[in-house]
Structure 1
Amino acid sequence: MLNYYLHAENAKQALAALAKGLASVELSTDLNLSQQRFSLNEQGLILDEDNQLSIDELKYIAKKKQKIFLCCDGEFDPLEDRSSGYYKLVPTAGSPLLEISGVKMHISKGTDPFKSASEMAQQAVHSGDKVLDCCSGLGYAAIAAHRLGAREVISIELSPEVMGLRAQNPWSNDLGNEGITQLKGSSYELIDTMPSNSFDAVIHDPPRFSLAGELYSEEFYSQIFRVLRRNGRLFHYTGNPHLLRKGSGFVDGVIRRLKAAGFKKIEKIDHLMGVSAQK
């Protein structure tokens, strides 16, 4: 059973080719990982014998600019979860981003979510490291750490909705690679069960403060400090609420708590909306 992922730009390409009377069109149906040529007929787009999209269906997809549709087994449905809040994958020119109740969970402006997550990993991860990835989301930073040569990556994600979406996201497939372990649960609780001095690097990408304030606490930072080996490195994505609430000093508060937990060499990394630090 093959999965095909389509969004507004794909649909527009197919409709443009149909309008020109072409017999086929080249599309990416795996969210920009590869290109493939598909047949067209008077009715619409032929993905395979069981999956065909009519012109009306293509026009519908073309109108939904912030959604990705999974075409499979003769059906097409948006990649979203409304069971608790509103979770969905949103198309970009590269990898999809995760959006939760209207809030984008990745840096995407002027870059690509996978690329920005890779840059975060580069701030902390060296080849041969054992890495802890807190609040993994779609797993982009964990995959990037593994590609940087990490010998072991422990990836923690709490949300079943997020884990369900990433299981359907082609860009998250490498989470299944040997050397990456996926844990479901709270980073705040699970880190307490981990041995001291057991990680070379930690990537910490929590939800915004209003949703998970405990993950910005001195207590949690002290646990990260504890599990890091001497000279171990941390990259902590903070977002930029200081731009939303000017004068709040949010990031400065993060830095104060990291210092209180014992971290040194703390630096703001503005273009990644985060902070790097060392044990």
Structure 2
Amino acid sequence: MMQFDWEPAAAEVAVDWRQDSLCKQVYVDGLKLAVGSSRSYKLCQVRPDWAPVLIIDGIVMHTLRMNPMDYADNKVKPIDVRGRVVLECCSGLGYVTSSLLSRGAKRVVSIEADPTVLQLSRYNVHSSSLGDSRVDLLISDAMVAARRMRSEAFDVIIHDPPTLKKDTGHLFSLELYLEYARVLKRGGIIYHYLPHPGEKYRNRNIGKGIARRMSAAGFRIVKETNDGLYAVLDRRHHYRSNHRLL
């Protein structure tokens, strides 16, 4: 687990709006802002008045249907975060972080496992909240970070993981939800993003599986939207080996 000291990159960032694609490639100093390694990363923008979108391996991390800043704010809006300490996973471009701060969060501990994403965010003016003094930005796997945090340290948890895949399955696991139940204060609130609502994964309903494991960890679902679940921590549970994971 390592602290990331976010600061804007010194570069000229622009979008060529003559491009044919829906989401226009972001350029830095006249070159495409894209990173190619074992994975492919890029920033693009749908409209001049919207924030950029992060795309990893061709998968959109936000939405192309609306301003991703508004999309992030819709996740936070149902929760009163004023004066509260919030744990956020995963940071991404910091749009949820921005919403939390604008809505009065006292402190945000934000976790991002992918340092390349944070490096890209430095070229995005809409990511400036990641450098706010009220934000502790950590590079870490969510499970590793949660296990090192003290019990009942947070009032709110925002769990906004990437799409469910083989390498992200632990972000939807009972083990992680139990750690969240430990670090969240009793009566605390958690928001959990639902990837691809209604989609089947290995012949199992993703949303129902998430809700079942959250319940086993002591969370009571109080609200469900197309994109996420809101739950309150009612009690503490200990792991039982007969609980099935994804």
TM-score, normalised by the number of residues in structure 1: 0.74
> Once the 2 structures are TM-superposed, how far is the Cα of residue 221 of structure 1 from its aligned partner?
0.6
- Name the residue aligned to 1:7: 15
> Once the 2 structures are TM-superposed, how far is the Cα of residue 209 of structure 1 from its aligned partner?
1.9
Match of 2:192 among 227, 231, 236: 236
- Name the residue aligned to 1:82: 36
**Does 2:82 align with 1:127?**
yes
Q: Secondary structure at the match of 2:77?
A: helix
Change (3 A) 1:246 1:220: closer
Amino acid at match of 1:173: S
> Once the 2 structures are TM-superposed, how far is the Cα of residue 144 of structure 1 from its aligned partner?
1.0
Deviations 1:194-226 (A, max 9, x none): 111110111111122213101100110111111
Change (3 A) 1:132 1:69: same
Asked if the contact 1:130–1:201 (Cα under 8 Å) also holds between the matched residues in 2, the reply is yes
- Name the residue aligned to 1:192: 147
Percent identical among aligned pairs is 31
More helix by share: 1
Over the residues paired in the alignment, what is the CA RMSD in angstroms?
2.0
Asked if the contact 1:138–1:172 (Cα under 8 Å) also holds between the matched residues in 2, the reply is yes
- Name the residue aligned to 2:157: 202
Write out aligned runs for 1:112-151 (5 A): 112-151=67-106
**Does 2:28 align with 1:70?**
yes
Asked if the contact 1:107–1:113 (Cα under 8 Å) also holds between the matched residues in 2, the reply is yes
Match of 1:100 among 56, 65, 69: 56
- Name the residue aligned to 2:220: 264
Change (3 A) 1:143 1:207: same
> Following the alignment from structure 1 to structure 2, what is the Cα–Cα distance between the partners of residues 122 and 128?
15
**Does 2:155 align with 1:216?**
no
> Following the alignment from structure 2 to structure 1, what is the Cα–Cα distance between the partners of residues 51 and 101?
17
Q: Which ranges of 4 or more aligned residues in structure 1 deviate by more than 4 Å?
A: 244-247
Relative contact order, higher structure (CA 8 A, sep 6+):
2
> Following the alignment from structure 2 to structure 1, what is the Cα–Cα distance between the partners of residues 200 and 51?
26
Can you give the 5+ residue segments of structure 1 that lack an aligned partner in the other structure? 13-61
Which stretch of the first structure deviates more once superposed, 217-226 or 246-255? 246-255
- Name the residue aligned to 2:242: none
Question: For this pair of structures, how many residues does the alignment match?
Answer: 221
Change (3 A) 1:277 1:193: same
Change (3 A) 1:2 1:82: closer
Write out aligned runs for 1:21-100 (5 A): 62=19, 66-71=24-29, 76-93=30-47, 94-100=50-56
TM-score, normalised by the number of residues in structure 2: 0.84
Q: Secondary structure at the match of 2:43?
A: strand
Can you give the 5+ residue segments of structure 2 that lack an aligned partner in the other structure? 1-8, 234-246
> Once the 2 structures are TM-superposed, how far is the Cα of residue 249 of structure 1 from its aligned partner?
1.2
Considering only CA atoms, is the larger Rg found in Structure 1 or Structure 2?
Answer: 1
> Following the alignment from structure 1 to structure 2, what is the Cα–Cα distance between the partners of residues 247 and 112?
33
Amino acid at match of 1:90: C
